[in-house]
A and B are shown apart, each in its own frame.
Chain A
Amino acid sequence: MNRFLAPVAVAATSVLAVAAVTSMAVLAAPADDSLVIDGELEMSTRVAPIEGHPLPEVISGWHYRTEDTRALQQDSFDNPGMLGVEEGEEYWNKVEGTMGKSCASCHGDASESMVGVGASYPKWSEKLGKPINVELQINHCRVENMGAEPYKFDKGGQKPLTAFIKHQSQGLPVELNLEEGEMQQWWERGKETYYRRTGQLNLSCATCHEDNNGKYIRADHLSQGNVNGFPTYRLKQSNLISLHNRFRGCIRDTRAEYPAAFSDELMGLEVYTTWRGTGLSVETPAVRQ
């Protein structure tokens, strides 16, 4: 199956104009629609929640977007995030660092070696003594196995390479292994962060994404805040947006100080929010407004 090899070189500028025209639906419920990529890859976008989940149904953020935005994600030609994935493939093959290696030198064909990675991270790292996500794994490999500088947050190849790697799992269900190492403790820690009310506005993730999902907050249709589509392509910014950038933006909006990317606090939150999306298909790169 050729799921990762959709032709991506076609520029998607014309469709952006269409997507910019947002039409606010009168009905606030998540759209009753199904996500099939290129007419063949069926995505699980509404699934039964994993045991212990507070919501009756787990729903992908895709359902909360407008028809135009949803359509962009249905077609790999139209999905502007695929350009980022293609750029990521170039980074995958790029030799860097003192050891004269690229990712491909060790991992070969990503379409074989990277399948499932995006569906199972963050995972426990014995070596680091904490959970590791795809971005940190890339940096770890760059330093230890390539003799290259780690990417700074959201810089260099970090977003496209992460998107490229996660895209190899497109369609696979998210499933974390919380049995390994201290994953359970990090899950607990992330859960605390999720329900902690922060900032002058005194809001938690749950206030918006658990108690009020499905409603409009001004022009924004609140989703469940699932993370299965990251890095996502945001039409507003015409760029890939990383998960930790999204976390920081949401926390900032409560008028709080926000934690550093990849801090223990946000790594816990990544473990917990990823778990909440168990069973949803990896959608990277999802398209958002």
Chain B
Amino acid sequence: MLIASTLVAGTVAPGDVKIENIAVSESLTGMAGNASEGRKTFANRKLGNCLACHANADLSEQLFHGEVGPSLDGAGARWSEPQLRAIMVNAKAVFSDRTIMPAFYSLEVGENVRKDLIGKTILSAEQIEDLVAYLLTLK
């Protein structure tokens, strides 16, 4: 129910996303994301669960921000929209193969994936776009 990876017409399939120069220039859905939905996806433990690893002052009402990754305060000023999209799609292609940050819109996953998740991405193209829109508000 929370696995939103069924491909909607007009969206770019995970295998077809091209990351060039740490950037994905086109929206994965062809449309702009919704920042307030992105904020929810960010905080939701079953979706982005981004707070597991990142502090984010915009969500200070939530307890326990992780510190495995850098604080995302100002991320929207540090990175451009195409760069944030690339980071969201596959952080391993941006930072390094060894990064702990999961690839949220990629089928390059680990071994023995849980059976019901095989062939599915962690987030949908729409959720990625929502997150990108949200991250851009973190100035």
Residues of A within 8 A of B (CB): 24, 28, 196-204, 207-208, 211-212, 215-219, 222, 254-257
Contacts and interface: CB of A to CB of B under 8 A. Distances in A.
Interface in B92-139: 92, 98, 100, 102-103, 108-115, 117, 120, 122
Contacts of B58: none
**Among the interface residues A200, A222, A256, which one has the most CB atoms of the partner chain B within 10 A?**
A200
11 contacts: A196-B111, A198-B112, A199-B110, A200-B102, A200-B120, A201-B122, A202-B109, A212-B68, A212-B100, A218-B49, A256-B114
A210 to B, nearest CB: 11
A197 B67 contact: no
Q: Is the interface of B mostly helix, strand, loop or mixed?
A: loop
Given A197-B111, A202-B110, A203-B102, 18 more contacts: A196-B110, A199-B110, A199-B112, A199-B114, A200-B114, A201-B110, A208-B100, A215-B68, A218-B64, A218-B65, A219-B63, A219-B64, A222-B68, A255-B113, A255-B117, A256-B110, A256-B114, A257-B114
A204 B99 CA distance: 11
B100 A211 contact: yes
Contacts of B63: 219
A119 to B, nearest CB: 32
Given A24-B64, A207-B100, A216-B64, A200 B117 contact: yes
Nearest to B63: A219
Contact of A199 (B64, B92, B98, B109): B109
Given A211-B100, A218-B51, A200 B110 contact: yes
| Size category, B interface | 20 to 34
Contacts of A28: 67
Contacts of A217: 52-53, 66, 68
Contact of B110 (A198, A211, A222): A198
A8 to B, nearest CB: 34
Contact of A257 (B68, B113, B122): B113
Contacts, number: 79
Nearest to A211: B100
Contacts of B109: 199-202
Nearest to B62: A218
B105 to A, nearest CB: 12
Nearest to B98: A211
B100 A203 contact: yes
Contacts of A212: 68, 100
Contacts of B108: 202
B100 A197 contact: no
A276 B121 CA distance: 34
A67 to B, nearest CB: 17
List 6 A-B pairs, minimum CB-CB distance, nearest first. A219-B64, A202-B110, A197-B110, A198-B110, A218-B52, A256-B112
A198 to B, nearest CB: 4
A79 to B, nearest CB: 26
Contacts of A208: 100
Contacts of B113: 198-200, 255-257
A217 B55 CA distance: 10
Interface string B44-66: 00000101110000000001111
A256 B116 CA distance: 10
A211 B109 CA distance: 19
Interface in B65-101: 65-68, 92, 98, 100
Contacts of B64: 24, 216, 218-219
**Among the interface residues B49, B100, B103, B110, which one has the most CB atoms of the partner chain A within 10 A?**
B110
Contact of B114 (A204, A215, A222, A255): A255
